[in-house]
Chains A and B, each alone.
Chain A
Amino acid sequence: MLLTIAEAGRLIAARKLSPVELMQACLSRMARLDNQLHAFIRPDAEGALAAARAAEARIMKDGAKGPLDGIPIAHKDIYCTAGVPTTAHSKVLIDHVPAEDSVVVAKWAAAGAISLGKLATHEFAFGGPSFDLPWPPVRNPWNTAHFTAGSSSGTAAAVASGMILGGTGSDTGGSIRGPAALCGIAGIKPTYGRASRRGVLPLAQSLDHTGPMAWTAEDCAILLQAMAGYDPQDPASADVPVPDYAATLNSGVKGRVIGLVRHMHESDNPVSAATLKGINDAADTFRALGAEVRDVTLPSLAEFNACGWVLLLAEAFAVHETWMRERPQDYGKYMRERLVLGAALSAADYMQAQKRRLELIARSFAATQGVDFLLTAAAPSEAPKIDEVPQWGFLGAPGFTMPFNVTGWPGITLCSGFGAGGLPVGLQLVAKPWQEAPLFAAAHAYEQATEWRKRRPAMTEETAR
């Protein structure tokens, strides 16, 4: 049986579940499944087991520190880990060994979470799925011929397959919410500035967010609780109090107003039948739970994506400029060629996008007065086959996640059903800045009212027998 973080944490705290046995179960799944999934690029089974033994001895003596104590997790390989290579899944940083942990890695370790190692990502959180990198791209646990989306691909596959109970992701244009949707898990991009990015390799700093991925919204709340908070050494970090997410998790949506951003998923980028059904059924579920659902109109997906991608490409090139001049051959083809677009942009292009961004944010606030949450798609459909993903897909039909990197508003992806091919589809629920607590409550209410959290990939059921 696969446990959530909340379930395992309660059992460990009650001394009814051994952290060592929990870790052994995760390592067993890793040993059996990861040769098909490629979620880990640097597993550390020995270290994880030793840490679980130490945690078990401490918990038996002193009790658990909290809900993450003894919980198996892992980190996307753009999160720096002291003394452990952090490569961004790239030959460019193949020998990069950080001296310090990133803030989030240190915070989760302090909360008792135990890392099983480093997880695959699209190269530098952008270039993928690529077959010309030092490690292969990640496969989808629901069907290994299919894509996971990215860039937090390893985290999504590892969580969905039960190799870990939660993990770190990063989200610059949808890199948490996209893979969460295609792998049928939950993932939140918190408000810009909510969680520190210090020690995380950047993609585009004005859009970069750190955030957690897990099986449920409740687990994401537990993980975000342990990673959120002001970091004066991260210039984007905001000195805003972090509420107790568990305290309001069961507060539901009664009296809340949900804005259905119908134009985004019906006309701006029409979604698949299964994705549309998931969104419309979710609207009905929220109504049944006591919320009011009304249509809202935001700026178009095209406007948000044009703005966001110009910012992302320009800022990403600024990060990679020196390496791109001196050793472009060390990048995979997708990352290298995408960065060239950023190189060709002008300073005026970039600043006009930053001007448009402020206007888009203002229009978004104006269009959502009196609205608590927004409901739309997280991805257009279930996962495509991994060898059918176009290199320049992000320049095609505009995506559903970038708008909330542009605004910085928090957004969570939840599983909302399954498509004709048997792979999951997802929805996206978005809140105003700093409103993660009510967002978690709404997401939790939806998951409790639906059946989607009871279904796991078939490969995990085989493992459980």
Chain B
Amino acid sequence: MAESTAEDFHSRVRQAGLPFSPAETAAILPAWQKLEAWLELIRTPGIPATAEPATTFKATP
């Protein structure tokens, strides 16, 4: 997975509704790129599509 560009990252932040300027998000971009490496690690090796998440709940009171 390629690292996000400043434009990609700013677009994500604006989509989340945060009033940050391009300069403000650009300052955070290096941290986001480190987090992207962790996102890749989470997906490696691939997780079966049918794997249960830890959030699965029981329908008990």
Contacts and interface: CB of A to CB of B under 8 A. Distances in A.
A313 B54 contact: no
A415 interface: no
Contact of A306 (B27, B28, B39): B39
B38 A352 contact: no
Contact of B51 (A303, A313, A343, A358): A358
B61 to A, nearest CB: 9
Contact of B55 (A303, A328, A354): A354
B8 to A, nearest CB: 9
- Residue of B17, B34, B35, B51 with highest tally of chain A CB at under 10 A: B35
A310 interface: yes
B59 interface: no
B44 to A, nearest CB: 10
B39 A349 contact: yes
B35 A395 contact: yes
Contacts of A358: 51-54, 56
Given A344-B12, A351-B53, A325 B19 contact: yes
Contact of A313 (B16, B25, B35, B47): B35
A449 interface: no
B47 A206 contact: no
A352 B47 contact: yes
Contacts of B42: 306-307, 310, 349, 352-353, 356
B46 to A, nearest CB: 10
A355 interface: yes
A389 to B, nearest CB: 15
Contact of A305 (B16, B19, B38, B56): B38
Interface in B15-58: 16-20, 25, 27-28, 30-32, 34-35, 38-39, 41-43, 47, 51-56
A361 interface: yes
Contacts of B41: 302-303, 306
A324 interface: yes
A340 B55 CA distance: 23
Contacts of A446: none
B47 A344 contact: no
A141 B18 CA distance: 39
B53 A340 contact: no
Contact of A310 (B25, B27, B38, B53): B38
Per CB-CB distance, the 5 closest pairs between chain A and chain B, nearest first, are A354-B53, A306-B38, A343-B16, A344-B12, A395-B34
29 contacts: A302-B41, A303-B41, A305-B38, A306-B42, A310-B35, A310-B38, A310-B42, A313-B35, A321-B17, A325-B17, A328-B18, A328-B19, A328-B20, A337-B27, A337-B28, A337-B31, A340-B28, A343-B12, A343-B17, A345-B35, A349-B42, A351-B55, A353-B42, A356-B42, A358-B56, A359-B51, A392-B30, A392-B31, A395-B38
Given A302-B38, A351-B53, A355-B52, 7 more contacts: A337-B31, A340-B25, A343-B17, A349-B39, A352-B42, A357-B54, A358-B53
